[in-house]
Amino acid sequence: MDAESGAIRVVLVDDQELVRAGFAMVLDAQPDIEVVGEAGDGLRALELLRATRADVVLMDVRMPRMDGIEATRRIVAAGEKPKVVILTTFDLDEYAFAAIKAGAGGFLLKDAGPAHLIEAIKAVHSGDAVVAPSTTRRLLDRFAVHLPDAERAAGGALESLTEREGEVLRLVARGMSNAEIAGRLYVSEATVKTHMGRILTKLGLRDRVQAVVFAYETGLVKSGQNGN
């Protein structure tokens, strides 16, 4: 299926050929997803992306020559179109967090089932977070101590938000979904999405995951808080 028919174009980056083959087999079986390239390390991924149009990159973390975090940072810095989904394992949360800080749209466990993998690709392609907000919150709670104190530097940006937008951002950062936020604020999900779009624009953020990181960095939400 080619790009003209609307397929999501995916590039696979992993130093294990069998892993790439497994992902490719699953994804190419989908009528609306097309694997357009593979790379065995971050450096080769950057070369490939300069010659290949892609929508989503599935990026491993630990690879030779250039790791996935540095490759992600360079993709984002170059203003490339593809959204990056970091592939990680339970014992590599530190790398996943660093990748999100580098600009990745989210992260996914390597042992995720086919349905979860497909859902994640479609979610990040549509602009949503790949991981559940509650998972992001737990990750941030664990590593909040490593976040820089950007409260003063970002104070002006926070002041650009309306009271309602600030409230929505706090609830997003505390792990609530759009539906849960809508129920809490007695508004529609469409209204929540509108607020979220304005928040991202005003703060210059790429996606919901970065919005959560921003909320923690600026002290809008403290580690250990939840949506209750």
The pLDDT of 59-63, averaged and rounded, is: 88
CA–CA distances in Å: residue 196 to residues 53, 54, 132, 135, 172: 28, 25, 16, 19, 9
Q: Dump pLDDT digits (tens) for 141-157.
A: 665 555 555 554 555 67
Report residue 35 CA to chain centroid gap.
19
Structure tokens at 14: 């992993």
Q: Please state, for a pLDDT cut of 90, what percent of the chain lies above it.
A: 35
Q: How confident is the model at residue 227 (pLDDT cuts 50, 70, 90)?
A: very low
Collapsed DSSP state (helix, strand, coil) of residue 36: strand
Q: What's the mean per-residue pLDDT of the chain?
A: 80
pLDDT digits 0-9 by tens, 63-120: 889 998 899 989 988 876 788 888 877 555 666 677 777 778 777 777 778 888 888 8
Question: What pLDDT is attached to residue 228?
Answer: 46
157 phi/psi in degrees, rounded to 5: -65, -45
Cα-Cα-Cα-Cα torsion 206, 61, 95, 106, nearest 10 degrees, comes to 30
* Alpha helices (H) along the chain: 17-28, 42-51, 68-77, 93-102, 114-125, 133-143, 151-159, 163-173, 178-185, 189-203, 208-217
Is the pLDDT at 178 greater than 60, yes or no? yes
Say yes or no to pLDDT of 45 above 70.
yes
Q: What is the mean pLDDT of residues 184-198?
A: 93
Q: Is 191 exposed, middle or buried (0-12, 13-18, 19+ CB in 10 A)?
A: middle
Residue 77 to residue 60: CA distance in whole angstroms: 19
Give residue 214's pLDDT: 83
Distance CA 9, CA 157 (A): 34
Report how far residue 61's alpha carbon sits from residue 71's, in angstroms, rounded to the nearest whole number: 9
